[in-house]
Chain A
Amino acid sequence: MIETLAVPLQSGLVDAAVAPAYWLLELWYGLLTQLYYLTGLELLDPTYRFMHRAILMGLCIGVMAPLIGTFLVHRQLALIGDALAHTAFAGVAIGLFLNAAFDFGVSPYLTAVVVAVVAALLIELISEATDAYNDVSMAIVLSTGFALGSTLISINAGGLAVGVNQYLFGNLSTVSPSDAVVLLALFVVIVATVAVTRNQLLYVTFDETAAAVSGISVEWYNRVMVMLTALVVVGAMQIMGVILVAAMLVVPVAGATQLSRSFTESIFVSVALAELAVLIGIGAAYYGGATGGPVIVLVAVAIYVVAVALGRLQTALGEETTPELGAIDGESAEAPSD
């Protein structure tokens, strides 16, 4: 399977298909270069194209991670991101192993996508069979993935061990143009899927049984959800690292929950908080000479703490008066349609 993925990837056909993404990338470089001349920020120096790519990826992650995370957190499935990240690590290791052993030249992120999606479906099918998402099976999947990844890497030690930190903790400076293109593709798939199925996803998240009664195939949408989670995790892994990637699914959402009243609002607020964390985090990491992912997470947590405080303040100050409960209007109660 991996072989068949790897071969066409280097063919001209795919190059043509992803050409628009590279064109977008060029546009982005131009945009940030303009911004550099306007602001003089060293961070945006056009000779550091990798920083331009890192910022673009960070911004994409800031949209898609809380977007999916909002649905996961409110179903109390926050852990699944962590489990999938660790299996994605196994996918990375498989990719690196194949490259070293057989000279495939496949991007480890592609093998990570495949492995994480398969693991996601596995978790979902197990939960359907046992009728519950349980901590234990999640923990088993998580440890298996991580152990498998570590084993493969240690077998191939030497050249490989050097490259592994980048996957564990993320790295702003190793984002290649092709990695950025993969992420852009994931971004489009994820955002488009959520945009189309938002009604169904919301209903299933809020009230699974009522959703099933209303004719929504709950199992099907659960599968879509875990697969999207797998894609987000792999996409975000590059900058955030395996160990911290789940934080982006959870922390901004937790912050938004404190501040929002409606579900729609909470999605936009969580994206805004995540983008704030990404931009401040990348900036701080650049000037402080630190690794990007962990700094972004620390900033996100700080924002969360502020959100909690603001939320409390909001409740304390704006103690709303309870409106009068209206009378029940039996007369105009809707008669059944046809």
Chain B
Amino acid sequence: MRILKYILFSLLGVIFCSCQEVLDFDPGEINPYPVLISKPDSGDSVVCVYISRSRFFLDEDNYPSAIGDASVTLDVNGNTYVGVFDNNPASQNYNKYVFSVVPQPGDSMRVSAVVPGFDHTVSAATKMPVMPQVEVTDFVIDTNDCYFREWDSTWVRENYYYRIKFRIRSTLPKQFFSVMASMSNVLDENDTANFSWDTNEASFTYIFFECNDPVVNTSDIENLIDGEASSSFYGDNMAFSNEMFQSGEHEFTIEFSQWAGDSYGYNKLDYSKIPVRLFVRSLSRDLYLYTMTTQRQSEADIFFSEPVQVHCNIDGGIGIFGASSLRKLSLPAPRFEHFNHNNSDNYYYKKKKK
């Protein structure tokens, strides 16, 4: 019986031992790639290229730093430019190769790089897309709600609902676009918006906005997963193709809301004085695919979906060399009526009146 007991306990020990272990495989078979990242914009003053190398996916301590001793050239419409590595930490183009050329819509560009540690040339080509044709057709602000604290009679916050309609017109059979919106979150001493187009400025704030347009939704995998009618966008991630509207024109509606008037002094902005800035970009096909796939990768479910293959267009390496042409639109806030809380059927307000 004792032997039987030992056998039984040994068996149970084996059964309940961990069912998870480190998988042994040879990482030496996996070699790094040279990486080239460049997204020249027609609004930029110069073209910049970031060169680095990829890292083995388990080697997370090894943050791939920029490679500063590569030989990088840029060909624009047949004119060759040599990149100069910017190693000034204070510079906006720090760790990038800078080319003293301002790209224009329609320019053909080709970048080539000889990267130390790799025995082949890395290259890619792109073309500056034409400027997007955009027209704002409607912009309204509505205030139909406010929020009260239950425990006192202080009016706390007013809610502003924004709705912007704009029309994009195709000028080519295949075009790719992205849209983003921003507002200032700072008013100066004259109580006016201190706004910059520069995304690096502190007063520049992206807006989360909603769009329930199927032209956008059908390319938004995450939205499809949830099966929701609309989707939130932030930054450049409202990207779409004109194939979705048969290469014609299409009117989009984006909506968002802003709270204002917090009694604690936070966000006391008067939004009637702050314009909305709309950024509409025309993207090269490669940049569009790269934008879409990097978005999907960040949103994809880990266990129940296939990993997303990010689109790259670099011969002899990985990364992206894609161009965009940016149209900026500044939309002053239209006149609107402030919320009339005396007529409100707001639940908390009614409670307060009692």
A and B from one complex: no
